[in-house]
Structure 1
């Protein structure tokens, strides 16, 4: 059975996927989530979302953690690795299957192309040896929540997303399931992440309700866009951050978060910069909208 840790104050987290080295957009999310946790007097955790081996880059997870350490952003508790938590995800899926809230699905992407990829009923043309597992999303499942940065967000999950995958046909666990189980187990009270995950939140809220888990507060930070207008991690402009020059990069992230540049200009080293940042940080100044091409100057 899924259990939720009893939170005793603010608990935030940064959860990178090891699909490449840490780039500026990811550092912005890490720094922003760290600042909000420290501003609230809370704890900040790091969780590695190594759930998708075909997309992972060898050694990327360790390089990401090393880079975070160079920027002074270290987890307050032991780092969690999703690849070690399969039993927890299995327990959640079995519970949902037993309750009739989830079902086995033989539909492929090709099958669902005829319905714009939105699963409302099985349309599989053949039986698959290893079907996926989907959450059953009832008609009228509309989810609305108040994001601390973006404001009110509302989504008709049934019409816009449909029954969504919890375990893929290749046997790997879906992000939506893992993040919900892990946030509950770690007692996360505040989810701070990039705005590219804003439209995933209603699915996670539905899943939390199905499992009887609490829903954290949410704050979706502005994205850094490449010159082509795409999210930096999807852009050819996405380059790894330079851990040998942490002050320049942290100052750039600080201003991208809408904070006054002069607050950090006199910082002598990383520890001094982070102390000044904690003192000067004002969450109200975080921009609600994504920013243009990233420049370090």
Structure 2
């Protein structure tokens, strides 16, 4: 099978890592199916494709709508005849803590970041079995290390990692490679899309946690000011390594910072090392 015939479906490609992966995959010779919930928000995607001189197959896919997921996957098979890889990238951040979040808020985070991943993966797996393909999910270092005021988001990412880690050996018996890719801070629209009004939400809605939340936000903002945040293109390189590897690893981090951070947890038998780091984040 030549590289030009391989087909990859990527979710959440309106910006950030998803957009970068869609472009990088097409550059590498993959037939790149770039999906996003609302195709009227595909201007940046089209501009990036034009600048790179590549073609993208842009389609609508809402990971929280099973009908939309089925239509997108079935459409790819009908038009291209095969599916060799899926990159589950669509996700949504959430800033809050249990006492101030509603259960509906938490369920919404799980719908996008966990059940949405499962919905796309379930629809794709029969076709990936046919091609001996790969199922890649962009999770987060927050899928390994729980982080203050990210309880719902980290819970969803923990769930994804646990599910995929459990699925991987089963899928391998059918010739499908399952991997998770763990970015740290990425300089993209992901943070701004969380939708929190810092001036209002920190001072009012966060009581009695306002001082603690502001400390956390200031610490997090510093990551984007000191240059430690990756570009989406740099993070996408790790996804492409998994996509093109003959024998992809299950867990891959996108930077040295991410590898160091995740290793704290993976070697932390009693939890004290992780909390030694994150306690400082909230003062």
Please say which structure displays the higher CA radius of gyration: 1
More helix as a share of residues: 2
TM-score (norm 1): 0.34
TM-score (norm 2): 0.35
More strand as a share of residues: 1
Q: Which has the higher contact order (CA 8 A, sep 6+)?
A: 1
